[in-house]
Amino acid sequence: MYLLIPVLLSIVVALARGKDLTRFALGGRFRAPWLVIFILVYRLVLYLQPVSDWAIQSGLAPYLNPVPYVLLLLFISLNRRLKPVSGPLMVIGLGTFLNLVVMVANGGFVPVPLEALRHTTPPEMIARMQQGIPDCHSILMDESSRLTFLADNFYIPRPFPFPAAFSVGDSIIGVGAFWLFQVVFPPKR
């Protein structure tokens, strides 16, 4: 949900710059665009409470969590030379890679400090995480957490409609997403 901010801001800026949001400047030249749709559906399904509970209880969550990051890096690799989106895709790829690194270094989960959780997460979920039970994507940061400078150290607190913890990698992805929206839509005719 953290990406809503740069995407919405980018749409506002694109409109202010006279971009035509009804036309796509690339004309369908992306290779394997279905990967992006699959990633979005995969993430949505994985975050559904029954699915995330199953993933945690079955022990599969640490293996399922990195999948969308790997697939997004594959999509970026396939489209890295596509002008004019090669720059934004590389920025998104850097952020995605950083997120994947911290996730793999921490057993398939992203550490989140307690302070960020207090501002973004329901108390019952925090209590579960304090007992060592991760949510589908995150674990409570502690002294065993690795690469904590890449973890979800920042947060957008309530009363924002979608409070969220986010990382340096997420911020880089947001910058890349903002840039991408500026280049994929052509000027109005």
Token pair in block for residue 106? 């921490």
Instruction: Please name the residue ranges forming H helices in 65-167.
Output: 67-79, 86-105, 114-120, 123-130
> Is the pLDDT confidence value at 86 over 70?
yes
How confident is the model at residue 108, as a pLDDT? 97
Q: Which helix (H) or strand (E) holds 175?
A: helix 168-184
Confidence class of residue 4 from pLDDT cuts 50, 70 and 90? confident
Specify the pLDDT at position 99: 98
What per-residue confidence (pLDDT) applies to 159?
83
The rounded radius of gyration (Å) of the Cα atoms in the chain is: 18
pLDDT mean over 11-25: 79
Query: What integer best gives the mean pLDDT of the chain?
Result: 91
Q: Determine contact, residues 71/64, Cβ cutoff 8 Å.
A: no
Q: What is the pLDDT of residues 127-159, one digit of tens each?
A: 999 999 998 899 999 999 999 999 999 999 988
Instruction: Report the range out of 15-24, 88-97, 177-186 with the highest average pLDDT.
Output: 88-97
| Partners of residue 111 on adjacent β-strands | 139
pTM score, whole prediction: 0.90
* Strand 138-140 with 110-112, pairing: parallel
Q: Is the pLDDT of residue 2 over 80?
A: no
What pLDDT does residue 92 have? 97
Residue with the larger pLDDT of the pair 68 and 135? 68
> Three-state DSSP class for 139?
strand
Query: Is residue 24 scored above 80 in pLDDT?
Result: no
DSSP code per residue over 79-104: HTT-TTTHHHHHHHHHHHHHHHHHHH
Confidence of residue 45 (pLDDT cuts 50, 70, 90): very high
Predicted confidence band of residue 90 (pLDDT cuts 50, 70, 90): very high
Burial 6-25 (b: 16+ CB within 10 A, else e): beeebbeebeeeebeeeeee
